[in-house]
């Protein structure tokens, strides 16, 4: 049995780790949305069989959890905030930016408790910035209220963005020109207030409206922090 007879040994499988798996999944999701992420396709990107992944994750949901946590690394601000308000402001905007980079994040945001190390680090940084400005319960209420706002706002923004992209029109144009269903509804006269909005409303910049709503909520929080709960 000379060398010439022996086939070259099969290239050892490329080493795997969660990091590479998550990176592949995120790449897939960035390109084709969450539904483009299948264990088979993720594995294929890594020149592996689908079952190989089950050594690193035990369910597809866990993969999603890892993806969400990975993005939280992008969300974590790199420098200390000046005060609590800046901290919450920056957190909201960085989350939004991350969602614009990774639109699938909108589908996952708030869908499950985020307990990965990066998500915990983000929470820690936020709580640290609010430490001492009020009693614990008030601080929690503040953080949760603000995150509820930006979670919901981001979800809606991405949903509208997708709808626009699907029709190729801005939403208001679409409502007016290409949304025959909505137009028919408005034409019935059963929705006068809505009709006024569609007719007279101005298209507002998504980021501006996000920022404005956020400021309102932050104002509300400021008011509560100033005067501790009755």
Q: Name the site residues for its own copies (rule: CB under 8 A).
A: 107, 109-113, 115, 117, 120-121, 123-124, 127-128, 131, 136-137, 140-141, 144-145, 147-153, 155-156, 159-160, 162-163, 171, 179, 181-182, 185, 190-194, 196-197, 200-202, 204, 209, 212-213, 216-217, 219-221, 223-224
Min dist. Cβ of residue 22 to its own copies (A): 17
| Binding residue (CB under 7 A) for DNA from 19, 33, 40, 140 | 40
Min dist. Cβ of residue 19 to DNA (A): 15
Min dist. Cβ of residue 82 to its own copies (A): 17
Of the listed pieces 56-64, 77-85, 151-159, 182-190, which binds DNA according to CB under 7 A? Answer: 56-64
Q: Does 19 bind DNA (CB under 7 A)?
A: no
For DNA, give the closer residue by CB, 59 or 209. Answer: 59
Min dist. Cβ of residue 215 to its own copies (A): 9
Q: Does 38 bind DNA (CB under 7 A)?
A: yes
| Binding residue (CB under 7 A) for DNA from 19, 32, 33, 54 | 54
- Side-chain half-sphere CA neighbours of 183 within 13 A: 10
Using a 10 angstrom Cβ sphere, with 0-12 exposed, 13-18 middle and 19 or more buried, the burial of residue 63 is: buried
Q: Does 55 bind DNA (CB under 7 A)?
A: yes
Task: Summarize as ranges the residues that interact with DNA (CB under 7 A).
Answer: 9-10, 12-13, 16, 37-41, 48-52, 54-55, 59-61
């Amino acid at each position: 049995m000379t060398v010439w007879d022996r086939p070259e040994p099969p290239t050892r499988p490329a080493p795997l780790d969660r990091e590479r798996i998550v990176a592949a999944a995120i790449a897939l999701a960035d390109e084709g949305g969450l539904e483009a992420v299948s264990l088979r396709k993720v594995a294929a990107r890594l020149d592996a069989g689908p079952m190989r992944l089950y050594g690193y994750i035990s369910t597809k949901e866990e993969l999603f959890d890892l993806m969400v946590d990975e993005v939280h690394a992008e969300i974590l601000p790199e420098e200390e905030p000046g005060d609590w308000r800046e901290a919450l402001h920056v957190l909201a905007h960085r989350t939004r930016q991350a969602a614009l980079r990774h639109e699938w994040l909108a589908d996952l945001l708030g869908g499950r408790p985020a307990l990965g190390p990066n998500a915990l680090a983000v929470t820690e940084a936020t709580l640290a910035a609010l430490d001492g400005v009020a009693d614990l319960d008030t601080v929690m209420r503040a953080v949760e209220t603000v995150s509820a706002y930006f979670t919901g706002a981001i979800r809606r923004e991405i949903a509208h963005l997708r709808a626009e992209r699907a029709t190729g029109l801005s939403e208001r144009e679409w409502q007016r020109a290409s949304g025959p269903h909505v137009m028919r509804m408005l034409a019935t006269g059963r929705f006068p207030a809505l009709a006024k909005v569609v007719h007279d409303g101005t298209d507002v910049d998504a980021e501006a409206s996000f920022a404005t709503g956020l400021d309102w909520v932050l104002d509300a929080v400021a008011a509560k922090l100033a005067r501790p709960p009755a």
